Amino acid sequence: MSTISEKILAKASNQETVSAGDFIKTKVDVALNHDVTSVLAFEAMYQMGAEKVWDPDKVVMILDHVAPPSSINSARVHNVIRDFVKAQDMKNFFDVNSGVCHQVLPEHGFVKPGMLVIGADSHTCTHGAFGAFATGVGSTDMGAVLARGKTWLRVPETIKVNVNGSLGEYVHPKDVILRIAKEIGVSGATYMTLEYHGKVVEEMSVAGRMTLCNMAIEMGGKAGICEADQKTIDWLDQRTSGPYDLVKADKDAVYKETLDLDLTGMEPQVACPHNVDNVKDVSELGKVKINQAFIGSCTNGRLEDLEQAHALLKGRQVHPDVRVLIVPASRAVYKKALQKGIIEDFIDSGAIVSNPSCAACFGGHIGLLGPGERGISTSNRNFRGRQGSPEAEVYLSSASVAAASALTGYITHPEEVA
Over residues 227-240, mean pLDDT = 94
* Rounded distance between C-alpha atoms, residue 103 and residue 88, angstroms: 24
Domain annotation covers residue 307:
yes
Q: Cβ(268)–Cβ(400) under 8 Å?
A: yes
pLDDT confidence of 75, banded at 50, 70, 90? very high
151-204 per-position pLDDT tens digit: 999 999 999 999 999 999 999 999 999 999 999 999 999 999 999 999 999 999
381 Rama sector, left if φ>0, alpha if ψ -120 to 50, beta otherwise: beta
Q: Same domain for 365 and 310?
A: yes
Quote the percentage of the chain above a pLDDT of 90. Answer: 91
Q: Element (H or E) spanning 39, and its range?
A: helix 38-47
77-104 per-position pLDDT tens digit: 999 999 999 999 999 999 999 999 999 9
> What is the end-to-end Cα distance of the chain in Å, rounded?
48
365 pLDDT above the threshold of 80: no
Instruction: Quote the pLDDT of residue 301.
Output: 96
Instruction: Quote the pLDDT of residue 386.
Output: 85
Q: Same domain for 124 and 155?
A: yes
- Listed residues 261, 291, 312: the one ending a domain: 261
307-333 per-position pLDDT tens digit: 999 999 999 999 999 999 999 999 999
Q: Same domain for 188 and 204?
A: yes
Q: Cβ(319)–Cβ(398) under 8 Å?
A: no
* Rounded distance between C-alpha atoms, residue 382 and residue 353, angstroms: 22
Q: Same domain for 181 and 322?
A: no
* Average pLDDT, rounded, for the chain: 95
343 pLDDT above the threshold of 80: yes
Domain annotation covers residue 64:
yes
Closest by Cα among 320, 316, 317 to 291: 320
Instruction: Quote the pLDDT of residue 129.
Output: 97
**Helix axes of 331-339 and 303-313: crossing angle, nearest 10 degrees:** 40
Domain annotation covers residue 355:
yes
Instruction: Quote the pLDDT of residue 128.
Output: 97
The CATH number for 197's domain is 3.30.499.10
Instruction: Quote the pLDDT of residue 418.
Output: 84
DSSP one-letter code for 197: E
Domain annotation covers residue 182:
yes
pLDDT confidence of 363, banded at 50, 70, 90? confident
Q: Same domain for 275 and 145?
A: no
Q: Same domain for 313 and 330?
A: yes
Domain annotation covers residue 285:
yes
* Rounded distance between C-alpha atoms, residue 398 and residue 187, angstroms: 22
Residue span of the structural domain in which 404 resides: 269-416
Quote the percentage of the chain above a pLDDT of 70. Answer: 100
Q: Same domain for 194 and 336?
A: no
- Give me the amino acid identity at 37: T
- Give me the amino acid identity at 347: I
- Listed residues 261, 289, 318: the one ending a domain: 261
- Give me the amino acid identity at 248: K
Q: Same domain for 220 and 281?
A: no
Domain annotation covers residue 2:
no
242 pLDDT above the threshold of 80: no
Over residues 258-279, mean pLDDT = 96
111-144 per-position pLDDT tens digit: 999 999 999 999 999 999 999 999 999 999 999 9
Q: Same domain for 213 and 283?
A: no
- Listed residues 231, 261, 291: the one ending a domain: 261
Q: Same domain for 238 and 273?
A: no
Domain annotation covers residue 55:
yes
| CA-based radius of gyration for the chain | 20
Q: Same domain for 311 and 205?
A: no
Domain annotation covers residue 38:
yes
Overall number of domains in the chain: 2
Q: Same domain for 286 and 257?
A: no
